[in-house]
Amino acid sequence: MEYAIQTENLVKKYNGFTALDGVSLRIKRGDVVGYVGPNGAGKTTTIKILTKLIKPTSGHAYIGGVDINKGPKEVLQNIGALIEVPGLYEYLTPHEMLTYFGKVHRMNNKEIGKRIKETLELVKLSDWEHKKIGSFSTGMQRRLAIANAILHKPEIVILDEPALGLDPKGIRDIRNLIKQFHGEGMTVFLSSHLLAEVAEVCNRVIFLDRGRVIASDSIENIGNKMEYRVINVRLLKPLSRKEIDTIEAIELVNGVEIKDDTVRIYFDGKPDTSHQILRKLVSLDFEVVSYNPESKGLEDYYVSIMGDEKEAN
C-alpha cells in the first residue's frame, strides 16, 4: 500500500540529544491523524523533517511514496504546511502575500487570482483581501497562514499547533476548516495539545513521548477501550446514612461517594453491570432522577498511556 505519509526508523540527534528515536509512521490517504505528546516529545522535529526544513540523522521519510531526499520538489508540491508560528509579512495584504507564494509555486496569474479568492473565502477573510496583515488578530493571521498552506491545492496538509493562542471562536474556525479538508479528501497530519479538538476532528491518533511512538489507534477503538467505571446518580431526595449503606451493599457496587447532590457509584465498568445496578436501585425504591456513566475520552487515554510509559522507564 502507498501511504500519504510514511517514515522508517527516523532518528534525529542534536549534540548528543536524541529528539527522535526510531519513529515509524503509516498514514493512509484521506486520513486525519492527530500527533500528540508532551512538550519536547519530538512532534515538531518530525514535521520539520517531513517538510524538508531539517534532515534526519538516519532513517527515511516518504510523501506519497516518494523519498523526500530523492524527490524534494515533487514532495513539497504535494504538501501544504503550517509550522509553529507562521511567517507572515505584516506590511503586505493577503492578496499581495498569496500572489507572491503563488509565483513561488509556479502558478500562472489566472490560477493565482482564482485560488486567492477561493482560499480567502474558505478561511473567511474575503473582506480583508486588501487590508494590511499587520492589523489582523491572531486568529485571522492563523487562518491566513492556512490559506497560504492550501493555495497550491496540496494533497497533504501538515499542521503544527494550528489553534495555538486562539480564543474559542478561533479554535472552532480551525476545527471547521480541518473537517472541510477531510471532506474534500485531503490527508491531514495534525500536531496539537488540544486533545478535545483532536478527538473532534481526527479519525486516528499517534502518541509520541521522548522521541518514540508509544501507541497508535483509531479514535473509535480508543473510545471502546475507555471503560466507564463511575456512574453519577441524582436522586429526588437526599440520602440518609442507612440508604447509603444500602447502595454500598449492592453486590455489583465497588464503592459509593456523595458529592453535592450526586451519588457517585464505582463499579467494574461493564455496560451490563451498569444496567443491573440501575434495575437494583429502582427495585429498592430509590427515586432516580438521572443516571449517567461518567464520560471518559482521549484525555483519560492519554494520561493512562503516558503514565504507564513513565512508570516503565
Does residue 232 sit within a domain?
Answer: yes
pLDDT (tens digit per residue) in 171-186 = 898 999 999 999 999 9
Contact 93, 136 (CB under 8 A): no
Domain boundary among 224, 241, 260: 224
Mean pLDDT of 301-313: 66
Asked if 235 and 128 sit in the same domain, the reply is no
pLDDT of residue 189: 97
Q: What is the β-pairing status of strands 212-218 and 58-63?
A: unpaired
Asked if 100 and 170 sit in the same domain, the reply is yes
Does residue 307 sit within a domain?
Answer: no
Nearest to 229 by CA among 278, 268, 181: 268
Give the residue, 69 or 154, on which the prediction is more confident.
154
Q: pLDDT grade, residue 309 (50/70/90)?
A: low
| Average pLDDT of every residue of the chain | 90
Contact 49, 22 (CB under 8 A): no
Does residue 25 sit within a domain?
Answer: yes
Contact 92, 148 (CB under 8 A): no
Asked if 93 and 141 sit in the same domain, the reply is yes
Asked if 255 and 212 sit in the same domain, the reply is no
Mean pLDDT of 212-218: 95
pLDDT (tens digit per residue) in 1-19 = 689 999 999 999 998 899 9
Residue 227 reports pLDDT greater than 80? no
Asked if 161 and 279 sit in the same domain, the reply is no
End-to-end C-alpha distance for the chain, whole angstroms? 35
Asked if 255 and 172 sit in the same domain, the reply is no
Cell 493565482 belongs to: 112
Residue 307 reports pLDDT greater than 90? no
**Torsion over CA: 204, 208, 211, 213 (sign):** negative
Asked if 79 and 152 sit in the same domain, the reply is yes
Domain boundary among 167, 192, 224: 224
Does residue 182 sit within a domain?
Answer: yes
CATH code for the domain in which residue 271 is found:
3.30.70.980
List the domain range (segments joined by +) for residue 213. Answer: 5-224
pLDDT (tens digit per residue) in 253-264 = 999 998 877 899
Rg of the Cα atoms in the chain? 25
User: Cα separation of 175 and 172, whole Å?
Assistant: 5
Asked if 46 and 74 sit in the same domain, the reply is yes
Asked if 133 and 161 sit in the same domain, the reply is yes
pLDDT of residue 301: 85
Residue 310 reports pLDDT greater than 70? no
pLDDT of residue 311: 43
Does residue 300 sit within a domain?
Answer: no
Does residue 111 sit within a domain?
Answer: yes
Q: pLDDT grade, residue 295 (50/70/90)?
A: low
Asked if 136 and 266 sit in the same domain, the reply is no
CATH code for the domain in which residue 94 is found:
3.40.50.300
Mean pLDDT of 74-93: 84
Does residue 213 sit within a domain?
Answer: yes
Residue 280 reports pLDDT greater than 90? yes
Asked if 171 and 215 sit in the same domain, the reply is yes
Domain boundary among 195, 224, 253: 224
Nearest to 156 by CA among 42, 41, 66, 216: 66
pLDDT (tens digit per residue) in 127-162 = 999 999 999 998 899 899 999 999 999 999 999 999
Q: How many domains does the chain have?
A: 2
Give percent of the chain above pLDDT 70. Answer: 96
Residue 312 reports pLDDT greater than 50? no
Asked if 149 and 212 sit in the same domain, the reply is yes
pLDDT of residue 132: 96
Does residue 310 sit within a domain?
Answer: no
Cβ neighbours of 240 (radius 10 Å): 9
pLDDT of residue 313: 42
pTM for the model stands at 0.79
